[in-house]
Structures are given as structure tokens and as C-alpha cells.
A and B are shown apart, each in its own frame.
Chain A
Amino acid sequence: MSYEASTEFRFFRDMAIVCLARNSKLPIRQILQKKLSNFDELNKFFTNDLLANYKNLRDKLITDEAWLFCTSEGKLYMAGKFTQNIKHMLQKAGLPTKPAHPNKLSQAQVESLLGQRFTHQRPGFQVILASALLGLQAMRPEEVAGLVKRDIDLDSRIITLEKTKSQEPQPVPIHRDLIRPLKAYIAYLKPDEPLFIRTTGTRWNRKDVHYAVLKIAKRCGLAKINPRRLRTTVAHEMASAGVAYNVISRVLRHSDEATAPRHYLVLRGTEEARTALDHFHPVSNQIDEMDV
């Protein structure tokens, strides 16, 4: 399990246990003994999506163990470790670490812990959004890494890139499939907050964007996928769909329209060359290949 997936997994697991302990009054040890098959009966104690979300993440875990609540490695989750994790979360939220037992926490404390949901989901969201911006918008990695909330205008569906290769601000139309996720994501951010940050709080650089793409590629079982190739692929797919070169150049934001055909539109293998040749008939009298 990747770092991003593990962070999200642990948050939903621990918060699901907290809510379950408070709502069902079951002892923690007993909750940790529950099996996957107990999911439906336990979900009745929830009025939110915590357990359902956790179950989705749990289902992705490759393990033979039948525990509903387990470690991110698929092993038995111990009560002591759970208490330790809750204390850590309370500390992160700036709350007193005692008492740490779910039944002794105040409602305000639980709300505060639930408020950390985005913090734990953010690393995973970042990887997805950065890869989507490359795979759909053909943006450059350094442009993605440098984005801040104020660059995104969802009303006019425009991203304004301040730091570009040409050193001049450039407007980029937002792909319509990115509107909803971007809207949901930036709602959590402050006006001048960078879109992509590391766990230390520092801004991403282009290498982090590369790593994000590699993570998705690894998840798909693909090799040799990188931002550069994604940019080329977007251009190529557009050309294959019949989009004019000058429009592709505009999408890729080239200062010279000749750059797109020169750098990006190399024929994919021999197939496109073959298709072109098949449509090339210097004389009307064609020779049937089956005659041979």
C-alpha cells in the first residue's frame, strides 16, 4: 500500500472504530475482533459514510485475514496501537491527549478529529489531481507543481499559469471533467494556498509531479510513463481525433505553431503510415492483394 493510500486507510479505520465504539458501546477489543462478514450489522450504527469508505479501502487490501479492522499490511490491529494512533491524532489536532478512549472523548473532540479528514485524504488527492492535469490538460510538471488556489477560476473555467516556460502568465481552459473534483478539492484550501504540498508543508516541485505519475502508472502496472510522454500523448490523441495542428499548439501553449508537428506528432508505429498509404491511390485501377 502506498503512503497516500495508507494515510487515508488509517484515518478512516481509526475514525470508524471511534464512532462504532461511541454508538454501539462495544469494547474496543471486541470491535477489533469483528470480521469482514460483520460489516452490514456494524454499518447500522453509522449515520455517516465512515465505515462504508473504510470498507472500500479495506477491500483493496490484498490479505487473507478476515478482520474488518486491520493494519495497512493486513495484519491484526491491536487495541494498544489504536489508542496510540488516537493520541497522535489528538495531538495533531492540538487537543489534550487524555482521555483517549472513544467513549470519554467529547463530541467537540470527535468533530475536531473528523475535521482532519481532508488532511489525511489530501496526499492521495494530490497524486490524482496532478496526474489528471497532465493527462487531460497536457500541462508541464513545473506548471502543475506551482499552482495555487487563486490561479483557478472555476466560474470562467480557466487556470492562470503565473510561472511558465515563456515567463509570461498564460490562461489554460479547464477540462470539464476536472471541474467537479477541482471545485471539491480547492474548497478546503485557503485563497493563497498551494494546490500541492508535501507532508512537511513545502510546495511540490516538478520531481514530485513525476513521482505522482509514477505512482499511478505503478498502480496500473504500466512502465515508462512520465509527464513528458503524457503531454506528447495528449497532442497525439488530439491529432488522431482530427484536431488541427494550430489548435493543438494552442492547447500545448507553444509560442511557435510549428513546434507541435515537429516535436509531438511522430507517427505512432507503422500503423498510421500504413493507413495513409492505404488511402493513397495514384491510379484508379487498384491491384487486389488476394490476386497473388
Chain B
Amino acid sequence: MSAIHQLPDIATLRKEFNRFAKGVRNTTESTLAAYNHDLDTYLEYLVSDPKESSGFEINEHRLRNFVIFLRERGNVGSTIQRRLDGVGAFWKFLYLEYDYPQPKTAKDCGIRLKNKRNPTASIPRNEYKIFMETIYDELRSIN
């Protein structure tokens, strides 16, 4: 695949990706920082895996192995989802700008993630009352 799709070096690609994300996708600074961190982790995986020596590439097979790498590091579902979001955004950029194969979702790659986040439990009423009573007592001292 890398032979078909001639890509510039990864540093140039990342520079272009940052401009693309900011300019085209109107991505915020915090999201961009998260994407870059995700890409760093993906590159870390590529370096760490001796079988993946053919240079930078994103495909279904590599995404699956990337998930194995993350799980072995002890990352939980939401973190893995976060990493895949960043790599997925980069894949989409390659697809749009470099005629790269169409990106696939984690589900289409056969990856199963627990997406549903447990809702945050509220504080028991008596504890909330104690907490707020303390705050009210202290608020009165601000003068």
C-alpha cells in the first residue's frame, strides 16, 4: 500500500495535518493537542512493533494491532477510543488530501469498544447539604 500511495515524510504530513485540522475542520487547540498526542502514541506503537517495519501506514490490520498494543499497556476502552479518534482524523486527512484508502470505523475494523460512559453519580443529598452549609458559612466571611 505504501508503494501505491507515495506520502511525504511523517514530519511534513503532521505539519500539513495540523494546518488542515485548524483551517478546514476548524478544530480547537485542545482537540488538536489531543490528536497529536494520539498520533505520537500510534508512532510509538509502530516503532515498538518489529513486524511493522514497512514505514508509516494506517490500515485495518495496523489499527487492530494498535488496539492490542494499547490494551497491553493497560489502557481502558475510553482511552483507546480517544487514540482511535486521533488516528482516524489523520486517516481521514490522508484520504482527502492524498487519495489514501477510505477510513474505516473501529467497528468496521472488527474492534469492539465499550462506548457507553457510565453517568456520573450525584452526591447523596445529606452530603451535598453538609458541603453547601460549609460553603455558605464561609461565604458570609467574605467582606
The interface on chain B, measured as residues whose beta carbon lies within 8 A of the other chain's beta carbons, has a size of 21
Interchain CB contact under 8 A, B134 and A233? no
- Residues on A with C-beta less than 8 A from B138 are 124, 128
Supposing A128-B138, A128-B139, A181-B139 touch, asked if A263 and B119 sit within 8 A by C-beta, the answer is yes
Q: Does A104 contact B (CB under 8 A)?
A: no
Task: List residues of A (168-182) whose CB comes within 8 Å of B's CBs.
Answer: 177-178, 181
Cβ contacts under 8 Å, B127 to chain A: 220, 222, 225
Interface size counted on chain A using CB atoms at 8 A:
34
B123 within 8 A of A: yes
Residues 122-133 of chain B, each 1 if its beta carbon lies under 8 Å from chain A, else 0:
111101101110
> With a CB–CB cut-off of 8 A, which chain A residues contact B128?
135, 233, 237
Chain A residues with CB under 8 Å of B140's CB are 181
Q: How far is the CA of A241 from the CA of B15 in the complex (A)?
A: 52
* A216-263 interface (Cβ within 8 A of B): 216-217, 219-220, 222, 225, 228-233, 235-237, 262-263
Question: Is A266 part of the contact surface with B, judged by Cβ < 8 Å?
Answer: yes
Contacts A185-B142, A222-B131, A225-B131 known; A264 to B120 CB distance under 8 Å?
yes
| Chain B stretch 95-126: residues in CB contact (< 8 A) with chain A | 119-125
Min Cβ gap B84→A in Å is 22
- How far is B121's CA from A95's CA once the two chains are assembled, in angstroms? 52
Q: Does A279 contact B (CB under 8 A)?
A: no
Is B121 touching A229 in the complex (CB atoms < 8 A)? Answer: yes
A204 CB to closest chain B CB (Å) equals: 17
Question: Looking across the interface, which residue of chain B has its beta carbon closest to that of A235?
Answer: B122
A125 at the binding interface (Cβ < 8 Å): yes
A268 touches B (CB below 8 Å): yes
Considering only residues 186-233 of chain A, those with a C-beta below 8 Å from chain B are 216-217, 219-220, 222, 225, 228-233
Which residues does chain B contribute within 8 Å of A264, judged by CB atoms?
A: 119-120, 122
Query: Which residue of A177, A181, A220, A235 contacts B131 across the interface (Cβ within 8 Å)?
Result: A220
A180 to chain B, nearest CB (A): 8
* B131 contacts across to A, CB distance below 8 A: 131, 135, 216-217, 220, 222, 225
Which of these, B28, B120, B125, contacts A232 with CB under 8 Å?
A: B120
Contact B134 A263 (CB under 8 A): no
- Given pairs A135-B128, A228-B120, 4 additional interface contacts (CB within 8 A): A131-B131, A230-B123, A235-B122, A263-B119
Point out residues on B near A: beta carbons under 8 Å. 28, 119-125, 127-128, 130-132, 134-136, 138-140, 142-143
Chain A residues within CB distance 8 Å of chain B: 124-125, 128-129, 131-132, 135-136, 167, 177-178, 181, 184-185, 216-217, 219-220, 222, 225, 228-233, 235-237, 262-264, 266, 268
